[in-house]
Amino acid sequence: MFSSTPELRANLRARRLAGLLAALAFAGALVLAACSGSTGSTTSSGSASGGASSGSSSASSNSGGTVSFANEVLPILQSRCGSCHGSGQTQAGLDLTSYSAVMAGSMHGAVVSAGDANSSTLIQMIASGRMPKRGPSLQPNQIQTITNWVAEGAPNN
Ligand code: HEC
């Protein structure tokens, strides 16, 4: 009897406290929800347009950034062109397995016109699908990478 009453009171108090806390938490959650609702709409519209711009310009994220000859261009040339334009054979006098060799060009002259992708023979060849002479054409993103590198001035980077 004596021990159960204070226990009940303590229980009641605890429940009231819990109820109060729950109410506070609920109100807090509402405020938070309201806030995040309004900021959420701005951030989501912001990220939507951001996503659209970055999506439409995956090419421009390439052209925007600097293409590395050593890390991005040379591996493509070596793996897809090296069999005919490499140390084994240099078709048309063209070696594509090092920076200096690429810039030295072929028996007909330069194949890369730094800063001018359109007039670069190398770009014309891969964009038209004439090169690689055998096997499938380069992937569109590989062509884009090499084109961007030339457009960026064909640096030895
Ligand atoms: C199977 C062999 C082969 C492969 C692989 C190959 N080429 Fe060629 N390439 C040739 C031959 C042969 C020529 C001479 C012209 C012709 O026959 O079309 C040539 C010519 C060229 C020329 C013209 C050179 C000039 O000034 O006349 C360029 C540029 C060129 N290749 C770039 C490439 C690139 C870039 C790749 C890789 C994406 C590549 N080639 C892969 C065989 C090949």
Encoding tokens for residue 73?
A: 């261009």
How much is the pLDDT for 40?
40
pLDDT in tens, 74-84: 999 999 999 99
How much is the pLDDT for 154?
98
On whether the CB atoms of residues 127 and 143 are closer than 8 A, the answer is: yes
The model's confidence at residue 16, banded by pLDDT at 50, 70 and 90, is: low
Rounded Cα distance between 28 and 14, Å, is 20
Would you call 82 helix, strand, or coil by DSSP? coil
The model's confidence at residue 10, banded by pLDDT at 50, 70 and 90, is: low
Rounded Cα distance between 22 and 110, Å, is 76
For the chain, give the percent of residues with pLDDT over 70.
59
pLDDT in tens, 42-72: 444 444 443 343 333 334 344 457 999 999 9
pLDDT in tens, 72-126: 999 999 999 999 999 899 999 999 999 999 999 999 999 999 999 999 999 999 9
CA of residue 11 to ligand 1 center, whole Å = 87
Which of ligand 1's atoms lies nearest the C-alpha of 92? 14
On whether the CB atoms of residues 77 and 100 are closer than 8 A, the answer is: no
Which of ligand 1's atoms lies nearest the C-alpha of 80? 37
- Cis preceding-peptide flag for 136 (omega within 30 of 0): no
- Whether 3 lines ligand 1, by a CB cut-off of 6 Å, is no
Rounded Cα distance between 134 and 130, Å, is 9
How much is the pLDDT for 87?
84
- Whether 123 lines ligand 1, by a CB cut-off of 6 Å, is no
Residue 38 class from Cβ within 10 Å (0-12 exposed, 13-18 middle, 19+ buried)?
A: exposed
Considering only residues 156 and 65, tell me which one the structure prediction assigns the higher pLDDT. Answer: 156
How much is the pLDDT for 6?
63
